[in-house]
């Protein structure tokens, strides 16, 4: 019985070993099956991935070839522009931009000097730092109230950091140009150009428009020497001293001190009714005529003035007052002076009476009215829309010299016969500069 019991126990242990080994083999087989399935799935994905990579490389090569063609066209256009063939260059530029819109900047990046590429990549250049700083200032100015801010002082502080009055715009740095930029000119040359812009006719309006371009032009347009020359030319010896005046600078004096405008005419229209004589056939009929005429005054910076009285419309008369020395006899020439808010004008008129004594022979004798000199005093008045835009009559007299006798006649001023003169700008007066401001 002991032997049989021992045999039974030995058989049971062998059965336990076989069951445990079979369970381990099952786990290993399951793990291998899962690995084979993942491996097969990865093998199925590999051909597609390789195909996508090949397509991407093909697209990149195609884009690179398009950029190379655009680069070649752009460089060819630059060469055409250099030799003077502008139209061919424009055609090539257009084709290059159609292929790659930003080909200008890409060409510039490839032509960047090697010394800039060898520098510290992480450290921004001085120009880029300045551009970023100015950009930040511009973004801040959009939300900032600049009504009571001194822009001259503000721009001076900003430009003092860059040590440059102005420079190329950030978008123009990638352009290939064959001409010099305005910032390449010396400061003396730029100021001399501004004196030509102002000209001897004191076209300060053009210089103010010049100052709206950028910060640097804004500071140049406020150069005190140019404004001082303009004040001296306008008021002469009566300009006075800036220290004893209520003005902080020469520009403020020119803007706020009473003066006249030079880029147009002062015009007034006078109209009245004139009654005629009774008709012989009908005593109850009396004709009435409406008389209408215009007065024109044009002032020059050298102290001369032109005066014209005509029934023609302003469109046909302002052109006659463009030359400084007109040839028409009806245009009277004189001089004027500024005294505070008054304008004193002296205009001389000479008349001659030509009588024929014999056919083909004429003799000039003294005119019936002799030599006449007109003296006018006008008040300079400003309105809410425009400064110094009106002239009001204050005194009008005529001194007549005939047969060595002088007679003075003072006219009675009323609003119907001597209405207010209003300023009207004429664009053609300051299209050309006769000389620089001296």
Output the six-digit token pair for 415. 């609003």
Residues 6+ apart with CB under 8 A from 223: 191, 194
Q: How far apart are the first and last CA of the chain?
A: 144
pLDDT recorded at residue 431: 73
Angle at 188 between CA 183 and CA 192, to 5 degrees: 100
User: Is residue 167 over pLDDT 90?
Assistant: no
Compute the distance between CA of residue 162 and CA of residue 306 in angstroms, rounded to an integer.
50
Compute the distance between CA of residue 178 and CA of residue 86 in angstroms, rounded to an integer.
12
- Which of 395, 385, 302 lies closest to 345 in space, CA to CA? 395
Output the six-digit token pair for 267. 């015009």
pLDDT recorded at residue 33: 79
User: Is residue 190 over pLDDT 70?
Assistant: yes
> 348 or 152, which is more confident?
348
Distances (CA, A) of 71 to 107, 179, 270: 7, 21, 69
Compute the distance between CA of residue 208 and CA of residue 265 in angstroms, rounded to an integer.
21
Compute the distance between CA of residue 39 and CA of residue 29 in angstroms, rounded to an integer.
15
Mean pLDDT of 116-131: 50
Mean pLDDT of 120-129: 51
Mean of all residue pLDDT scores within the chain: 76
Please tell me what DSSP assigns to residue 374: E
- Which of 237, 307, 228 lies closest to 266 in space, CA to CA? 307
Counting beta carbons within 10 angstroms of the beta carbon of residue 402, is it exposed (0 to 12), middle (13 to 18) or buried (19 or more)?
middle
Interhelix angle for 151-162 vs 126-143, to 10°?
160
Distances (CA, A) of 351 to 100, 143, 320, 367, 410: 75, 67, 20, 6, 20
Whole-number percent of the chain with pLDDT over 90 = 20
> 207: part of which helix (H) or strand (E)?
helix 204-210
pLDDT recorded at residue 9: 46
Whole-number percent of the chain with pLDDT over 70 = 68
pLDDT recorded at residue 388: 93
Output the six-digit token pair for 151. 């822009």
Contact indicator for 323, 337 with CB cutoff of 8 Å: no
Contact indicator for 265, 412 with CB cutoff of 8 Å: no
- The full 3-state SS of 136-184, as one line of letters, equals HHHHHHHHCCCCCCCHHHHHHHHHHHHCCCCCCCHHHCCCCCCCCCHHH
- Which of 145, 220, 196 lies closest to 438 in space, CA to CA? 196
Mean pLDDT of 256-275: 90
pLDDT recorded at residue 183: 77
Give the lowest-confidence range in 9-23, 26-40, 330-344.
9-23
pLDDT recorded at residue 363: 45
Instruction: Give the pLDDT band of residue 436 (cuts 50, 70, 90).
Output: confident
pLDDT recorded at residue 393: 94
- What is the tens place of the pLDDT at every residue in 56-69? 555 555 555 888 88
> 436 or 283, which is more confident?
436
- What is the tens place of the pLDDT at every residue in 223-242? 899 999 999 999 988 888 88
Mean pLDDT of 120-147: 51
Q: How many Cα neighbours within 13 Å face the side chain of 71?
A: 13
* CA dihedral angle for residue 378, residue 384, residue 386, residue 389, rounded to 10 degrees: -20
pLDDT recorded at residue 50: 47
Compute the distance between CA of residue 185 and CA of residue 178 in angstroms, rounded to an integer.
15
> 174 or 77, which is more confident?
77
pLDDT recorded at residue 372: 86
Which DSSP string do the residues of 185-246 spell out, in sequence order? S-HHHHHHHHHHHHTTTT-HHHHHHHTTS-HHHHHHTT-HHHHHHHHHHHHGGGG--STTSS
User: Is residue 142 over pLDDT 70?
Assistant: no
Please tell me what DSSP assigns to residue 413: P
Mean pLDDT of 87-96: 86
Strand ranges for 302-419 from DSSP E: 304-310, 332-339, 342-358, 361-381, 390-402, 405-410
- What is the tens place of the pLDDT at every residue in 18-40? 555 556 566 667 777 777 777 77
Counting beta carbons within 10 angstroms of the beta carbon of residue 381, is it exposed (0 to 12), middle (13 to 18) or buried (19 or more)?
middle
Compute the distance between CA of residue 303 and CA of residue 292 in angstroms, rounded to an integer.
30
Instruction: Give the pLDDT band of residue 437 (cuts 50, 70, 90).
Output: confident
> 68: part of which helix (H) or strand (E)?
helix 2-82
Please tell me what DSSP assigns to residue 412: P
> 420 or 275, which is more confident?
420
User: Is residue 120 over pLDDT 80?
Assistant: no
């Amino acid at each position: 019985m002991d032997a049989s019991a021992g045999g039974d126990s030995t058989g049971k242990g062998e059965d336990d070993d076989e069951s445990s080994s079979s369970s381990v083999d099952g786990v290993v087989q399951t793990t291998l099956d899962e690995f084979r399935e993942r491996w097969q799935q990865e093998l199925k994905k590999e051909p597609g991935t390789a195909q996508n990579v090949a397509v991407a490389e093909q697209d990149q090569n195609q884009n690179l070839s398009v950029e190379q063609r655009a680069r070649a066209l752009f460089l060819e256009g630059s060469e055409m522009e250099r030799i003077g063939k502008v139209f061919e260059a424009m055609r090539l530029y257009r084709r290059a931009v159609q292929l790659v819109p930003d080909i200008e900047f890409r060409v510039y990046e490839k032509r960047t000097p090697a010394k800039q590429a060898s520098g510290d990549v992480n450290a921004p250049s001085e120009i880029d730092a300045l551009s970023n700083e100015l950009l930040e200032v511009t973004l801040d100015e959009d939300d900032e109230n600049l009504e009571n801010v001194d822009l001259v002082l503000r721009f001076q502080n900003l430009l003092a950091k860059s040590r440059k009055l102005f420079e190329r715009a950030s978008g123009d740095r990638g352009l290939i140009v064959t001409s010099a930029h305005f910032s390449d000119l010396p400061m003396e040359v730029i100021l001399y150009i501004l004196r030509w812009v102002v000209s001897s006719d004191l076209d300060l309006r053009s210089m103010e428009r010049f100052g709206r371009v950028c910060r640097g032009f804004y500071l140049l347009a406020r150069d005190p020497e140019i404004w001082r020359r303009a004040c001296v030319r306008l008021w002469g010896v009566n300009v006075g001293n800036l220290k004893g005046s209520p003005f902080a600078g020469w520009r403020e004096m020119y803007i706020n001190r009473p003066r006249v405008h030079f880029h147009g005419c002062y015009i007034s229209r006078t109209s009245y009714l004139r009654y005629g004589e009774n008709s012989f056939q009908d005593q109850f009929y009396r004709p009435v005529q409406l008389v209408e005429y215009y007065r024109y005054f044009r002032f020059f910076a050298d102290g001369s003035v032109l005066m014209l009285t005509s029934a023609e419309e302003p469109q046909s008369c302002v052109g006659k007052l463009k030359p400084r020395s007109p040839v028409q006899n009806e245009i009277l020439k004189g001089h004027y002076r500024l005294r505070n808010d008054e304008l004193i004008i002296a205009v001389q008129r000479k008349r001659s009476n030509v009588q024929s004594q014999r056919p083909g022979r004429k003799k000039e004798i003294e005119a019936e009215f002799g030599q006449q000199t007109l003296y006018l005093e006008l008040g300079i008045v400003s309105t809410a829309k425009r400064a110094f835009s009106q002239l009001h009559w204050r005194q009008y007299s005529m001194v007549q010299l005939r047969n060595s006798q002088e007679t003075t006649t003072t006219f009675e001023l009323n609003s119907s016969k001597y209405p207010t003169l209003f300023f009207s700008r004429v664009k053609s007066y300051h299209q050309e500069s006769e000389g620089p401001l001296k």
